Amino acid sequence: MVLTALIDDYLVTYLTNVSDQNINAVGLILGQSCSGKDYIIHFAKTPPFQSEQDKKLGKPVQNMKSLDDMNPNWIADHAKQTTRMLPGGMSVLGVFLVSPDDLLTPFHSKLKLILQTIHKQLDMNKYLHGNPSSEKLVLHFSSKSRKYFCKTYDVISHNIQPVEVKSVAKKWNNIECNFGIDKVKFIRTNEADWPLEKHIKVMLDEIHDNLESSVLFFEGEFKDEDDSLENVGKKKTRTTRSTKVGHDVTESSKPIRVSILTKCSNMSGSSDSDSVIETSGQLRIVGQVSCKLWLQPKMSIKEAAKALKQDIMRSLESRLEMHWDSLTEEENSEDVNCVHEPPRRVLIRLPNSNITLSDYLFPGEGAQDAKVSLEELLDIKIKGKLQILDVEGQPDITEYCKGALESESKEILPKLNSDANQFMYLGMVAAVIVLIVSLLLHLYT
């Protein structure tokens, strides 16, 4: 069975524009796989690679002259950064190439290495990407003939298959959901010397396990997992088509709302609720994740639920990883109680489409910072001010700061021992009432 890839005319125009620059280029194919078809939503050209040594010497960035100039690790890192921005159900489907030479007949060995490196990078983090398919798309646009050719390469079996590319308008269903989180982890005395990252990953695993056992309601109804998404709320929606040329989204007048019911668990994470444990402090993740997904109408309820859960965990993993990477100096702080704000999620529409991707802004950052990310990672040129959808809003951390101060004054937290290294660490995590706020408090229900 030949795989089919669906592409829009404006994406072909993008490849033509890259070709007009008289450069060899490589980039990522972003989209969604459903029912044996790959729905392509965007091409993101990978920025030219420049070594750290060349940066220090101030050498200008050189464009790629041939496929041999490609750095697989650089392209794989681009895939990781871009995946953070994708909603659940979307992924890096493969790579595109723009060059005068035919690179698919025979299939270039360097191209195989690039695809294997991308798969390995994404497969390392189960929450960021989930279970990536081993079959990767490769689309080559010839700058000579102005034609494109497409194949798939399986990084596990090394099997190569042709792909039929069709240019058609695509329909999408919009899924929206708000997922509240209030997770507490008590730090046992034998865990006091753990790095912050390890503590947070344990909490992420517990949130994921609870989410996997949850029950989802689509428009307030429990649906059979084999039912298709297009049948949800069918009588409540009408279909409208944009008159704008190249607009690929046919959307319902009202998004499909999803509610998530999770089971209650004891705060300590212990299976024995009556047990008494000695602790050195606690971590707390509290807030709300706002989700906005774009899924194919033929997708089953089971697949839609998987995509929604993937979106929640991808968003949590992305912003928490960004957060602990930013704590190099704060981790050595002597503050006993502290409140931290990880980046909040904002949504940005793709050009010629209503599909939205995510970016994450730290406190004090705004639309200009998101604009820089889009231009660098997605190769999107934006004229004027970028319009962002601030779905989670700025948090109000006053009550959490107040709670931290009150707990300190009442000496709820245990005294730290005199060991210098342990004191340095426990000063940050041992007495944290709230480690992470604004996983993102919604300003409206």
| Boundary residue ending a domain (128, 147, 167) | 167
Residue 299 is predicted with a pLDDT of: 95
Q: Is 230 left (phi over 0), alpha (psi -120 to 50) or beta?
A: alpha
- Residues 47, 139 within the same domain: yes
- Residues 105, 227 within the same domain: no
Would you say residue 444 lies in a domain?
Answer: no
Would you say residue 203 lies in a domain?
Answer: yes
Residue 425 is predicted with a pLDDT of: 39
Residue 274 is predicted with a pLDDT of: 62
Would you say residue 401 lies in a domain?
Answer: yes
Residue 432 is predicted with a pLDDT of: 37
| Boundary residue ending a domain (126, 143, 167) | 167
- Residues 138, 232 within the same domain: no
| Boundary residue ending a domain (120, 148, 167) | 167
- Residues 54, 32 within the same domain: yes
**Residue among 144, 40, 148, 152 nearest 107 (CA):** 152
Query: pLDDT truncated to tens, each residue of the chain (445 aa)?
Result: 678 999 998 999 999 999 998 778 999 999 999 988 999 999 999 998 866 666 666 666 667 777 788 899 999 999 999 999 999 999 999 999 999 888 899 999 999 999 999 999 998 888 887 667 899 999 999 989 999 999 999 999 999 999 999 988 888 999 999 999 999 999 998 888 888 888 899 999 999 999 999 999 999 999 999 999 999 977 544 444 444 444 444 444 589 999 999 987 654 444 555 677 788 888 888 889 999 999 999 999 999 999 999 999 999 999 988 888 877 554 544 445 777 788 999 999 998 888 999 999 998 888 888 998 899 999 998 888 888 888 887 766 666 555 554 544 444 334 334 343 443 333 343 333 334 444 444 444 4
Would you say residue 216 lies in a domain?
Answer: yes
Q: What is the CATH number of the domain that holds 146?
A: 3.40.140.10
- Residues 306, 388 within the same domain: yes
Other beta carbons within 10 Å of 385: 10
- Residues 325, 409 within the same domain: yes
Please say whether the beta carbons of 111 and 103 come within 8 A.
yes
- Residues 253, 148 within the same domain: no
**Cβ partners under 8 Å of residue 95, min gap 6:** 26, 27, 28, 29, 75, 111, 114, 115, 118, 136, 137, 138, 139
Owner of token pair 């995510």: 358
- Residues 231, 282 within the same domain: yes
Would you say residue 445 lies in a domain?
Answer: no
Please say whether the beta carbons of 278 and 188 come within 8 A.
yes
pTM reported for the whole predicted model: 0.81
Would you say residue 443 lies in a domain?
Answer: no
Total domains in the fold of the chain:
2
Would you say residue 190 lies in a domain?
Answer: yes
Residue 133 is predicted with a pLDDT of: 83
- Residues 238, 381 within the same domain: yes
Residue 340 is predicted with a pLDDT of: 76
- Report d(CA 192, CA 180) in Å as an integer: 28
The parent domain of residue 221 ranges over 173-437
- Residues 162, 177 within the same domain: no
- Residues 163, 181 within the same domain: no
The model's pLDDT over 349-392, given as tens digits with 9 standing for 90+, comes to 998 888 999 999 998 888 888 998 899 999 998 888 888 888 88
Residue 414 is predicted with a pLDDT of: 40
The amino acid at residue 209 is: D
The model's pLDDT over 310-325, given as tens digits with 9 standing for 90+, comes to 999 999 999 988 888 8
- Residues 52, 196 within the same domain: no
Residue 72 is predicted with a pLDDT of: 94
Would you say residue 313 lies in a domain?
Answer: yes
| 90-119 as b/e: b if 16+ CB within 10 A | bbbbbbbbbbeeebbeeebeebbebbbbbb
Please say whether the beta carbons of 28 and 79 come within 8 A.
yes
